[in-house]
Structure 1
Amino acid sequence: MKAILIDDEKPALQHLERLLLKDGRLEITGKYTSARRGLEHLEHEKADVVFLDIGMPEMNGLEAGEYIAGMDRSTRIVYITAYSEYAIEAFELNAADYLLKPVTSQRLSKTLERLEIRREQNEAPVETLPEPAAAVKQLSILCFKRLEFIDSTEPGRKMQWRTSKAQEVFALLLHNRGQWILKDTIVDWVWPEFQPEKAVTNLHTTVYHIRKLLKAWDMEVQVEFSQERYRLTKENVLLDLEEFEQGYCSTPVESEAEWARREEVLGLYRGDYLEEHHYDWAETRSKELQIRFIRMSLHSAEYELSSGRPRQALDRLLVLQAADPYSDQICRLVLRSYADLGDFIGFRKHYDKYKELLQRDLGIRPDQVIDSWVQKVL
C-alpha cells in the first residue's frame, strides 16, 4: 500500500517515517509539512493511506480530511495528534485509526494490522443471493411543523439525531438544497458563540454524523464538500416542501375534481415550515409558505361555501383565523359561513370578538364596508 505523511513538525514527520521504513509494510510516496502540499500530491497521485496530523496551522487535519474524502473516499486516513481530546473526534470522522504523539512502534504496528485487515475485507469477493420480493421502499423528508424522515416500509421508524446541532446543520443544508454554502456561513448560524477553530471542528464532526445517519436510512442524499463550501443533493427522496410548491395554485377553485386535488396539497401542510425548531434563518421562508397556504385554503373555503358546504368551510376558516387573526377577508368568510348555517348568535359573537381584538391589539375599527354588511345581515 502507498502512503503519504503530513505533519507540520519536521521531527515528528521524520520519526514517523523511520518507524514506517523499519516496519516495511507501507511504501512512502510523499511527506509534507503543509496540508495543502499534501492535497496537491493527492490530486496527481493516489495514496491508499494518509497519516495526517490534526493540529496544523493554515489548515488543520480535520479540514484536510474533508478534502481527502471528497477526492477519493477509498483513501484511508490515520489521524495523529498530541492532544487526546481530538482522538475521539478524529475516530468519529470515519478515520481508519488515530495515533497519539509520540508515536510508538507497538501502537503503529496495531494500526498497520487494522489497515491490512480492512484491505483484505474490501478485496474479498462478496457472494450474493437472490433476495425475496419486498415492498417498494419510499423515503420521504418532512419539513412542515417538524423535521422528520419517513420510511414507507417501517411507518414507526424514528430517526435519532446525535445532537440538536446535527439536526440544524442538516435542516440548513436542506433549506438551501443544491446550493453551495460557505462553511463560515454555516458556523455563524449554528455556532455563533464558539471560537472559529472550535466551530469548524464541530462542523466537520457534525457532517460526519449526518452522513452516517443518511447511510443508515439508505437515503440517496449526499452532503458534498468543495472549496470551503458544503451543499446537499438528493435523488429518489420525496420532500413535502417540494410537493407543496409544485401543487400550489393561487386561482379560484372551479370544479370538485380540482378541489379534491388541492386538498391533497393542503394536507401536506401539517404546520408552519420547521415550526417546532425555531431556526432564525427559516423565518422568512416560513412566512412565505404560510401566506401561500392561507391563500390557497381561502379559495377552497370559497368553493365550499358556493357549493353548499358552510360547515366544512367554517371549520377550515377558524383554523386559518388562528394563524392570521387580523385578516378581514378571513373574518368575512367566517361570518358568511355562520350566516349560511343560520347561526346568527355565532355570527354576532364572532364579529364582536373580532372588533374587540382589532381595538385591543391594533387600536383600529373594522373596515366600514364589512361593518355595514354585518349590520345589514343582523
Structure 2
Amino acid sequence: MKAIIVDDEQPSIDMLKILLEEDGRVEVTGTYRKPAEALAMLDKLKPDVVFLDIQMPLMNGLELAELMLDAHDELEIIFVTAYDHYALDAFQASAIDYLLKPIAEAGLDRAISRLFKRKRTVVPNPASLQPHVYIHCLGRLEVTVRESAHVPALRTTKAQELLAYLYLKRDKEVSKWEIIEDIWPECSKEQAHSHLHTTVYQVRKLLKQQGIHAALSFRNAHYRLNAAGLASDLALFSRAFDKEIRITAANAPYYEQCLDLYQGDLFGVWSYAWSLPAREKLREQYASLTKQLCRFYLQSEDYSPAMLRMQGLIAVQPLDEEAYELLLQLDWKRNDRTAFVAHYRQLEQVLHTELGLVPNETTRRLYEEWFAAADEER
C-alpha cells in the first residue's frame, strides 16, 4: 500500500517516514512540504493514503484534504498535527484517523490497521516485508531488523565495531589505512589486513542477508557505506540540527521527541576511542537543545516539562552550571523556596567536591536576589 506525506516541516516528515519504514506495511512514495506540489502529484503517484499535517502556512490541511478527496474519492486521509483541538474537524473531513505529534508507535499501528480494514486488504505477513535494518546508537549499540529482535549475525565485537564505525562515517569514503589505524592499531600490518577483510565479509554478509545489496563498496583502497536501507536513532536525532533551531508551540513536540531519542552517550558502554569526538558533540547538542526547550517553556510559563528536562540533563551532566541556573529560575517562577535552596546547595556541593570551586557570580546573584525579594515581601 502506497502513501505520501505532506507537512511543511522537514523534520516532522523525516520522523514519520522512519516510523512508517519501521512498521513496514506502508510504502512512502513521496514527501511534500508544499500542498500544491502534493496535489499535482496525486494522478502520477496514485497513493492509497495521505498523511497530512493540518496546520500549514500555504494551505490548511483540512482544505487540502477536500481538494484531494474531490479528485480521488477512494483516497484515505490520516491527519497528523500538534494540536488536539483539530480532532473533530479531522473526522468531519472523513479522515480515517488522527495522530497527535509526537507520534506514538501504538497510535500509528492503530491508524494503519484501520487503513487496511477500510481498504479490505490483507495485512502483509511480517516475514514477507522488505527487510529493514535499524542501528541503535544512542545509549547502546544494537542492530535490529524488522523480522526479529536483536540480530546475532555479527559474530564478533570487531564486526559490530566496524559497522558502527562505517555508519558514523556513512556515505563517505574512508581509507582502509584509516580504518586499520582506528580499529586494529595494536596489530601488525599483515594481521590488520587479515582482520579487516574477515570483518568486512561479516558486515557484508549481514547486509546481504537483510536484502541490502552492494551497501558496502570498495574502490581505490577506500570503503564507503551506502546508508540507504539503514536507519538509526542517531540519524533522526542529528537531523534536528541540520538548520538553526527555533522552538515554537508547533514544533516543540518534535524537539521533545528528538530529545527522547537520546538515551545516553553514543554507542553506550562501547566507548571506542575513534568515537569520542562525535560522542562529545552529540552530548553538547543534547544539552543545548534541552536548554533551548527549557527557555521556551519558561517563556510560555509551562514549568512542568521544563523541570523534567532540566533534572534529566543534570542527572547526566552534574557539573553543568548553566543547567542549574535554569533550574533555579524554574524554582523562582514556581515560587518553590524549598526546591530553590536545595538545588543551590546541591550545586555548591558538587562544584566543591569535584572541582574545588564555588558557583559563579551569576548564580550567586540569583540566589541573593531570591532572599532579597523574600525579605521585601515580609
Same fold at TM > 0.5: yes
Q: Where does 1:180-219 land on structure 2 (aligned, <5 Å)?
A: 180-219=173-212
Q: Where does 1:267-282 land on structure 2 (aligned, <5 Å)?
A: 267-282=260-275
- Point out where structure 2 has 5 or more consecutive residues left out of the alignment: 1-121, 372-378
Aligned to 1:334: 327
Aligned to 2:50: none
Deviations 1:88-113 (A, max 9, x none): xxxxxxxxxxxxxxxxxxxxxxxxxx
Give the total of aligned pairs: 246
> Is 1:223 the equivalent of 2:216?
yes
Distance in 1 of aligned mates of 2:264 and 2:181: 27
Quick one: percent identity of the two aligned structures?
Answer: 27
Distance in 2 of aligned mates of 1:224 and 1:284: 25
**TM-score normalised to structure 1 length:** 0.60
Q: Is the 8 A contact 2:145 2:151 kept in 1?
A: no
Distance in 1 of aligned mates of 2:223 and 2:198: 14
Alpha-carbon distance, 1:207 to partner: 1.0
State which of 323, 347, 350 in structure 1 corresponds to 2:343: 350
Question: CA distance change for structure 1 residues 221 and 268 in 2, over 3 Å: closer, same or farther?
Answer: farther
Aligned to 2:302: 309
Question: CA distance change for structure 1 residues 335 and 222 in 2, over 3 Å: closer, same or farther?
Answer: same
Distance in 2 of aligned mates of 1:221 and 1:347: 57
Question: CA distance change for structure 1 residues 321 and 271 in 2, over 3 Å: closer, same or farther?
Answer: same
State which of 226, 229, 232 in structure 1 corresponds to 2:225: 232
Question: CA distance change for structure 1 residues 366 and 207 in 2, over 3 Å: closer, same or farther?
Answer: same
Q: Where does 1:1-378 land on structure 2 (aligned, <5 Å)?
A: 133-134=124-125, 137=130, 138-154=132-148, 156-220=149-213, 222-248=215-241, 250-255=244-249, 257-378=250-371
Structure 1 stretches of at least 4 aligned residues deviating more than 6 Å after TM superposition: none
Q: What code does the residue aligned with 2:195 have?
A: N
**TM-score normalised to structure 2 length:** 0.60
Task: For residue 144 of structure 2, give the secondary structure of its aligned residue in structure 1.
Answer: strand
Distance in 2 of aligned mates of 1:264 and 1:288: 19
Larger Rg: 1
Deviations 1:51-71 (A, max 9, x none): xxxxxxxxxxxxxxxxxxxxx
Q: Which is worse superposed, 323-332 or 199-208?
A: 323-332
Alpha-carbon distance, 1:319 to partner: 1.4
Q: What code does the residue aligned with 2:239 have?
A: Q
Deviations 1:202-238 (A, max 9, x none): 1111111111122223335622122222221121332
Distance in 1 of aligned mates of 2:254 and 2:174: 36
Distance in 1 of aligned mates of 2:268 and 2:364: 35
Alignment RMSD (CA, Å): 2.4
Alpha-carbon distance, 1:239 to partner: 2.8
Alpha-carbon distance, 1:186 to partner: 1.6
Q: Is the 8 A contact 1:143 1:241 kept in 2?
A: yes
- Point out where structure 1 has 5 or more consecutive residues left out of the alignment: 1-130
Q: What code does the residue aligned with 2:301 have?
A: G
Q: What code does the residue aligned with 2:248 have?
A: E
Question: Which structure's relative contact order is higher, taking Cα pairs within 8 Å and 6+ residues apart?
Answer: 2
Q: Is the 8 A contact 2:252 2:293 kept in 1?
A: yes
Deviations 1:168-197 (A, max 9, x none): 111111121122222222222222222211
Task: For residue 234 of structure 1, give the secondary structure of its aligned residue in structure 2.
Answer: coil
Task: For residue 264 of structure 2, give the secondary structure of its aligned residue in structure 1.
Answer: coil
Q: Which is worse superposed, 220-229 or 201-210?
A: 220-229
Aligned to 1:82: none
